[in-house]
Amino acid sequence: MNDVSAPPRPRRSRLVVGIFLLVVGGLLLAVNLGYGLPAGWWQYLLWAPVAIGAMGVIVPSRHMDRVGGVWMLATGLYFLIGVYNWWGLGWSGAWPIFVIAAGLGFILHRHHDQPSGNGVS
């Protein structure tokens, strides 16, 4: 008997998030290189990864699980700390956010290969 299943659907949400991060990273790099971008609109753009990540942590969906939300939130916080130099950290001092995100990712990760609960420990 052949298992004829539908081919896997492309993960468009990953593509959208990837393109978004490329655009934001390019804008941040341009600012660091001294190009005068309009300060009014892009400052609010930095909050988008924070909002998307918070939604992923609070209300996970098929597009973003809690671990993805943690990484998106960490990336957004890193952007904000780097641009606004919060707490005097800047770009080079904020990297421990990603270590914290990795720890949270390990804690929140769900193992799909564990057997279902059969009452035996």
Domain spans of the chain, in order of start: 13-108
**Mean pLDDT throughout 59-85?**
88
Q: Considering only residues 63 and 88, tell me which one the structure prediction assigns the higher pLDDT.
A: 88
Q: Is the pLDDT of residue 41 over 80?
A: no
The rounded distance, in Å, linking the Cα atoms of 104 and 107 is 5
Confidence of residue 32 (pLDDT cuts 50, 70, 90): confident
Q: Which two tokens stand for residue 12?
A: 């468009």
Judge whether 42 and 32 are in contact, CB under 8 Å: no
CA 7 from centre of chain: 27
The rounded distance, in Å, linking the Cα atoms of 74 and 53 is 8
pLDDT, tens digit, for every residue of 86-105? 888 888 899 999 999 999 98
- Indicate the helix (H) or strand (E) that contains 49: helix 48-58
The rounded distance, in Å, linking the Cα atoms of 6 and 120 is 35
**Mean pLDDT throughout 64-86?**
89
Q: Which two tokens stand for residue 118?
A: 């059969």
Judge whether 80 and 46 are in contact, CB under 8 Å: yes
**Mean pLDDT throughout 55-68?**
86
Q: Is the pLDDT of residue 116 over 60?
A: no
| CA nearest to 100, candidates 84, 78, 81, 82 | 78
pLDDT value at residue 121: 47
